[in-house]
Structures are given as structure tokens and as C-alpha cells.
A = this chain, B = another copy of it.
Amino acid sequence: MCKSTDPKRALFAELAAVARALGHEHRVELLEHLAQGERSVEALARLTGLSMANASQHLQQLRRAGLLEARRDGKFVLYRLADDGVVQLMSVLRQTAERNVASVGALLARYFDGRDGLEPVGRADLVDRAQAGLVTVIDVRPREEFDLGHVPGAVSVPLEELDARLAEFDPATEIVAYCRGAYCLLAVEAVARLRARGFSARRMEDGMPEWRAAGLPVAAG
């Protein structure tokens, strides 16, 4: 066997500590929000419905595990992912759960295949087709998140504004919607509404975090 068993044990303990940081519902949700860009404790507490003290504690736990970093800006403390690899870790976690946990597969099938129906668009495809003007790309996240970074050429159409802004879209041009991630429901909802109005709409396969992690260009402001 391995001669020195100590360093291996130490390594296992460290890996388990990182995994344990991902082992709570609220922390997964916090990471999902932070995958969009850095956020203040107050914003995260509001988005998740946690108390500030509670959110702060979870964030510190994630920071201790090396998954987050924090910086101070005025009276706010802004947290952000320590590394784009964290997105990859969460992505692999989702894939594993989707394959091996029946309830997750069922959950996703019910809320995606059922409501979406059509095959989503791949990332590589999208860049070419957007530049050629063949598709209209809309970002249905809140404008705040759009401003922090979005797909080049995308138009910000928060889901709340969608119904009121239908006149902007050319019914002859296909619309591709994206939001936060593979399993965010914003784009699904947007596609469903657009189709109900007679538009040709599809959902982008992944969301902004995966886009960013893939090293594709990001526009800001």
C-alpha cells in the first residue's frame, strides 16, 4: 500500500471540507446567484430570503472553503466566486445528480422537456448566427445582472417587460433566450410566452455562468 498514508488522509479531509461547503441548500443557491457576478451580502440575503446574519455565515463558510472571495466597497462587502472553476464544479455536480438521482431527472424533465419541448441552442452555434443577424438574442435576466455582463449583441428584456415589448421583435426572425444557467427557469418561461404569441423561440442551452466559464466574449454595461 501507500507508504505514507498521512498525506493522503489529509488530502481526503481537505476535499471533503470543500464538498461539505457545497452540502447545503442555501449555499448552493448563493453560489448560483454569485455565478452571475459579485454581489453584496444584502443583495444575496434579499434574493434568497435569508436573514443577513444567516447569509453572512453561509458566505463565510464558502469563503473558508476557498470557493468565494470578498472585497470591501464602501459600506458593502462584495462576494464573488474565487475561480471560474467553481462554475465547472457546480456544473459537474448537476450533471452527476441528473444522471444518478432519479428525482432530479424527473424534476428537470417535468420543468424543461414538458414546457420547452424544442431542442435548445448550443453556444457555438449562437455566436455565428447572432453575428449574421439570423437570430435575435435576448437576455431575460433582471437588468442588473445584464449590466454585469451579457452575451455580445444580446438585448436586455427582463421577463417582466417581455409582454409589453413584443412589438420590438420581428416575427420572421427566430428568438433565442437565455438566463442564468442550464436550469434557470427564466428562459423557459420566456420561450413559452413567445411561442404562445406566435414567435419562433428557443432557449440557449446554458446560461451566463457557463458562457463565462467557457471563455466566450462578454459584453458589459
Contact = CB atoms under 8 A, between A and B. Distances in A.
Interface of A: 1-4, 7-20, 22-29, 32, 47, 65-67, 82-83, 85-86, 88-90, 92-97, 99-104, 107-108, 110-111, 142, 159, 183-186, 189
8 contacts: A7-B107, A8-B183, A11-B108, A12-B29, A22-B23, A85-B96, A86-B96, A92-B92
Given A8-B185, A29-B12, A107-B14, A100 B82 contact: yes
* A interface: dominant SS: helix
A92 B89 CA distance: 6
Nearest to A111: B7
Given A85-B95, A89-B92, A184-B2, A100 B25 contact: no
Interface centre among A2, A10, A99 (most CB of B within 10 A): A2
Copies of this chain held together in the complex: 2
A27 B23 CA distance: 14
A185 B3 contact: yes
B189 A3 contact: yes
A19 B14 contact: no
A103 to B, nearest CB: 6
Given A7-B107, A65-B101, A100-B66, A93 B19 contact: yes
Contacts of A19: 19-20, 22-23, 28, 93
Nearest to A91: B92
A38 to B, nearest CB: 16
Nearest to A101: B66
Interface centre among A7, A26, A83, A94 (most CB of B within 10 A): A7
Given A7-B111, A19-B19, A23-B23, 17 more contacts: A2-B186, A2-B189, A8-B29, A9-B29, A14-B101, A15-B22, A16-B23, A19-B28, A20-B20, A22-B23, A65-B101, A66-B102, A82-B99, A82-B100, A83-B100, A86-B96, A88-B96
